[in-house]
A and B are shown apart, each in its own frame.
Chain A
Amino acid sequence: MTAKLVLENLKHKPMRSLLSILLIGVPVTLILCLVGLSHGMLEDSARRTRGIGADVIVRPPGTSLLTLSGAPMPAALVDYFRKLPHVALAMGVVNHPMQTTLVATGIDLQEFDKMSGGFTYIEGGPFQGPNDVLLDRYYAAQQGVHAGGRINLLNREWRVVGVIEGGKLARIVFPVKVLQDLTSSNGRFSQIYLKLDNPANTAATIRDLKAAMPEYQIYSMEEFTSLFSVNNIQGLHEFIIVIMAIGVIIGFAVVCLSMYMAVLQRTREIGILKSLGASKSFILRIILAEALLLGIGGTLLGILMSFGAWWLIRTIVPASIPMVIVPSWWPIAGFITLVGTGLGALYPGLSAARHDAIEALAYE
């Protein structure tokens, strides 16, 4: 009977209920989009790194996981690695940030083909000259260009010589020497990839390399891609917590306001329930149950809206923002929302429970 009363109360003011659900859903979407974006970026980076086909990555000292710009490693290092036992191939690359979430990479295409098996060309083909650029299908679609077309990058015009399948190395690929010239890093690399004669030698090779070059960051590709997690990106975890806290506050404020208005509107009904013998806890339960239903509705709508945001982002900027849907966060976002709504309903609920029955019955 209590459930029926709660449902009828929600149905009685459908616009209030729907608006509350919408407003509760917005922070849920915000949380899910942020988490989806973080996971998407990291998964995308990890996938593209795995696509290189290397066994070992060597990074310069003092760089963080997402610090891919700059080219401090001398080209001589590549020659040094090539001479080491078990190293079949060594390839240096130059990274240059284009946007916050987008990095261009300069490669020697022949070396890259040997290491990774080469790009899969959807349109066009490999570099033919120094003004050529390769784009992956997502960035090409985002920019609306095809092979043979022109694109302005790094303050100059480039010919899109080929559109490649995504998932290998980078979304924007330049000839390595051209990018070194443009970024004033001639003869230097951002990071160096090694392919071994046998992957079984990876651990031993890394051990030897670390002993010889203790200041460098040297990982197996498996270990390196496993580092692409929210907890390993400095500040990201805290940022997500702050956004979650904002979600709780918004849920709290929306429900507090909505339920406070509802309690005011239903003062007389609260008086009626009290005249029938309803206890304070009964009144509080009704208000809390109503708020929790709004919270559940807001969570479901928020999840639905996160799919909408995902679709919109994939349609508009598939390359810049590789958002993914993270279902494991649905219960977390739901819990956060329900905590916010529950807290938000407490004050109006307690206020309703404390109403004087006679005054409430006289309320017009």
Chain B
Amino acid sequence: MNSGPIIETRDLRKTYRVGKVDVPALRGVDLTVKPGEFLAIVGPSGSGKSTLFHIIGGLTPPTSGEVHVAGQDLAAMTDAGRTRLRKRSVGFVFQKFNLLPNLTARDNIAIARHIGGFDSKPEASFEEVLRLLGIANRLDHKPSELSGGEQQRVAIARAIVNHPAILLADEPTGNLDSESSKAVLEILRGLNERLGQTILMITHNPEAAAYGHYIVHMRDGKIIERTS
């Protein structure tokens, strides 16, 4: 495994303009993540966790500082470049699942393949991942016919179907009961351990955070502590 960092940020800053007021969301974040690591990011609301995710995931550019993801310099990237990054290098899992409601679970996964520039049908080997996720027999259902836990597992399948370098999970258990939460966290750990998937997970839940190899604590737009 390549031991060089898959994510590296240096003095990363992001300031949002709200009306006529500048609101700093990140105030100089230095973070290094190696391939295959499972990081939990914790911190109170407004600490900058989501903003950090959005920048690493290429959803928004930084205001200043350096950010490299899978060898690509995001600070210098255009909007089109960040779009390309999201196609293949980054997979997102959201608190609200964010499946396309009009499509079946299978088609939600297929659309990610299609947008990523691959054949819509996942490779045969992906069947194993679907079995690991426990959704192989639920693929022809629309999100409204699936439980929260099932929806989140479909969302995880969609996030990793293009073999992204990193999986960004934003409160993946925030809308789930404790049983489903445990199942999703076990799946994330399984993906990390079996497939070597690099995972960054935002969570408020200390039990969920304990699944990570490291826990990064954020407050007021900065990383204040990294514990293992």
Contact = CB atoms under 8 A, between A and B. Distances in A.
A8 B102 contact: yes
A171 interface: no
Given A358-B60, A361-B98, 10 more contacts: A1-B114, A5-B100, A8-B103, A11-B102, A269-B102, A275-B59, A275-B92, A275-B98, A282-B115, A361-B94
Interface stretch (B104-112, B132-140, B188-196, B207-215): B104-112
Contact of A2 (B99, B112, B114): B114
Interface string A200-227: 0000000000000000000000000000
Contacts of A64: none
Nearest to B168: A275
A15 interface: no
Interface stretch (B33-41, B80-88, B173-181): B80-88
A277 B84 contact: yes
Nearest to B54: A358
A156 interface: no
A357 B60 CA distance: 8
A230 to B, nearest CB: 45
Nearest to B117: A277
A268 interface: yes
Chain B, interface residues (CB within 8 Å), range: 20 to 34
B140 to A, nearest CB: 13
B92 A12 contact: no
B116 interface: yes
B79 to A, nearest CB: 8
Interface residues of A, number: 25
A350 to B, nearest CB: 15
Interface string A164-206: 0000000000000000000000000000000000000000000
A272 B59 contact: no
Given A1-B120, A4-B107, A5-B111, A277 B87 contact: yes
Interface of B: 54, 57, 59-60, 80, 83-88, 92, 94, 98-103, 107, 110-116, 120, 158
A9 B60 CA distance: 27
A12 B59 CA distance: 28
30 contacts: A1-B107, A1-B110, A1-B120, A4-B103, A4-B107, A5-B100, A5-B103, A5-B111, A8-B102, A8-B103, A268-B98, A269-B102, A272-B99, A273-B111, A274-B59, A275-B57, A275-B86, A275-B92, A276-B92, A276-B112, A276-B116, A276-B158, A277-B83, A277-B86, A277-B88, A277-B116, A279-B83, A282-B115, A358-B60, A361-B98
Contacts of A280: 83
B102 A5 contact: yes
Given A1-B107, A358-B54, A358-B60, A278 B100 contact: no
A272 B98 contact: yes
Contacts of B111: 1, 5, 273, 276
A290 to B, nearest CB: 11
B55 to A, nearest CB: 10
A11 B107 CA distance: 15
A182 to B, nearest CB: 69
| Across the A-B interface, the 10 shortest Cβ-Cβ residue pairs | A277-B87, A277-B86, A1-B114, A8-B102, A12-B102, A1-B120, A272-B98, A357-B59, A276-B115, A275-B92
A12 B115 contact: no
Contacts of B85: 277
Contacts of A357: 59-60
B102 A9 contact: yes
